[in-house]
Amino acid sequence: MSQDNSILCALNIKDNNIKNVSVFDSKINTNGVVKRIKLVKAELSYNLTHCPQCGENMLIKNGKRTTNQRLASFNGMEYHLILKKQRYLCRNCGSTCGAHSDLLVKNHTMTKQIKARIFDMSHESFTLSSMAKLLGISTSTVSRILYGNTKLSERSSYLPENLCFDEFRSVKNVFTFISIDAKTHHLIDLVHDRLSKTLTEHFINKYSLKERQNVKTVSIDLNANYQLIVHKIFPNAQIIVDRFHIVQLCSRALDQVRIQTLKKIDDKKSRSYKALKKDWRLFHLPEADVDATHVKYIVGLNEYSTIQNVIDLGTDQSEVFKQVYETYQQIETAIKNHDSKLLRETLLKYNKNNTVMDTSINTLRKNIKYVSNSCTMSYSNGPLEGTIGKIKKLKHNCYGFRNLNHLLKRATLICA
Ligand SMILES: [Zn+2]
């Protein structure tokens, strides 16, 4: 491999017409600030025979023009490409033209390399300034390229069979509705509102009835009231309540009852108190992981014991807590094993005991059909939660967004 090829390979330039490449260290002075940069000098030339204007075979080489282009950086340093481009003159019509490379964008200083790298990085939660630093260009360039070349679409090109619905807090604490394809995780819709009326109108106006009838499942969480509108918009869709949110709801109830039980114990040094307070994680363990045979050192309790023993210490303290614990375990087991029968039984046979668990079970009972769908169908809101996590991270990194369009564009790019 020649030296030219090695340098071009290192700079990730694929154009073979670029020759005589050499790299130097250099300095530039911008407003008194001296910056160290890398200068890449090269020539762009090839044999052009036919004139683009008249089509005659009368072109001759006519000197070179030097241009200054910007390459993407690998180490935060600016990479300036000083490219001598061949000019041609037509003997027939007298017009001139220049050599062109796929690397360059006409009338732009930034090469396609930079554009591609910016869009690559925009899939992650990088801020504009961190992208600019990594690529060795200015923040306003990143902003111009990123926001100028991203369009917000009115509607998705298709409606998939399986959808996920959720919302996230965007600009000025307003909730934005988001939906993605449960299978491919592609973004379907972003609506800057979460009101039932707006969403119904959005889907009914933007998508035909035939498209909407094709939707088979919609995954939602329990917090939002999407149950009511899903049937209106998608007549054939089944609602799935996300598995994680069912367990989370019961797990929170379990913790609250545990703390209530804890407060009733007067002796703060008793073993039950320690078990309930410091070993709270053990109560959330799935039934299969609760070990009744192996003795190990339990940190909070400060003694050697089995996990089953610690849990017994807690559940023996209060009959109500025991009932809540058992309900939680049954629901968790049912969800884990996709056992909709056990889940239904647990929900329907639950006896009220005046704790927060009553409210949780009531909520689940109200949506029992959708809740048991979560056991029989494999779709969940997991992918969408991941996407929203990335959007939240982006918002956190950027210290919030002022411009709604910018946030929505970044969200579109993250899902792309
Ligand atoms: Zn010509």
For 301-330, the pLDDT digits (tens) are 788 888 888 888 778 878 888 888 888 888
Distance 97 CA to ligand 1 centre (A): 9
How many angstroms separate the alpha carbon of residue 50 from the centre of ligand 1? 8
pLDDT band at 224 (very low <50, low <70, confident <90, very high): low
Whether the predicted pLDDT of 1 surpasses 60: no
**Cα–Cα distance measured from residue 12 to residue 46, given in angstroms and rounded to the nearest whole number:** 20
Contacting residues for 214 by C-beta, under 8 A, at least 6 apart: 159, 161, 236
What is the CA(86)–ligand 1 centre distance, in A?
16
Question: What pLDDT score was predicted for residue 82?
Answer: 92
- pLDDT in the model for residue 85: 92
DSSP 58-104: -EEEEEEEEEEEEEPPSSSSEEEEEEEEEEEEETTT--EEE---TT-
User: 38 or 223: whose pLDDT is higher?
Assistant: 38
CA of 47 to the centre of ligand 1 (A): 15
How far apart (Å, rounded) are the C-alpha atoms in residues 138 and 192? 30
Per-residue pLDDT band for 373 (boundaries 50, 70, 90) equals confident
Indicate the SS3 state at residue 31: coil
Q: What are the structural domain ranges in the chain?
A: 3-106, 162-241+380-415, 243-376
Tens-place pLDDT, residues 60-117: 888 999 999 888 887 778 889 999 999 999 888 888 988 888 888 888 888 888 888 8
User: Can you tell me the mean pLDDT for 374-389?
Assistant: 85
How does pLDDT run across 228-279, given as a tens digit for each residue? 888 888 888 888 888 888 888 888 888 888 888 888 888 878 787 887 788 8
Give residue 87's pLDDT. 92
How would residue 28 be classed by pLDDT, with cut points 50, 70 and 90?
A: confident
Confidence (pLDDT) at 66? 92
Span from the CA of 56 to the centroid of ligand 1 (angstroms):
6
Q: Strand order in 238-241's β-sheet?
A: 187-191, 175-181, 162-169, 217-220, 238-241
What is the rounded average pLDDT for all residues in the chain?
85
Provide the residues around ligand 1 (an ion) whose CB is within 5 A.
Answer: 51, 53-54, 90, 92-93
271, 244 in Cβ contact below 8 A? no
- As a whole number of Å, the end-to-end CA separation of the chain is 37
- What is the predicted pLDDT for the residue at 282? 81
Per-position DSSP letters for 199-252, written without gaps between them = HHHHHHHHS-HHHHHT--EEEE-SSS--HHHHHHH-TTPEEEE-HHHHHHHHHH
pLDDT band at 135 (very low <50, low <70, confident <90, very high): confident
In angstroms, what is the span from residue 59 Cα to ligand 1's centroid?
7
Query: Which listed CATH number (3.10.105.10, 2.60.40.420, 3.40.50.300, 3.30.420.10) goes with 162-241+380-415?
Result: 3.30.420.10
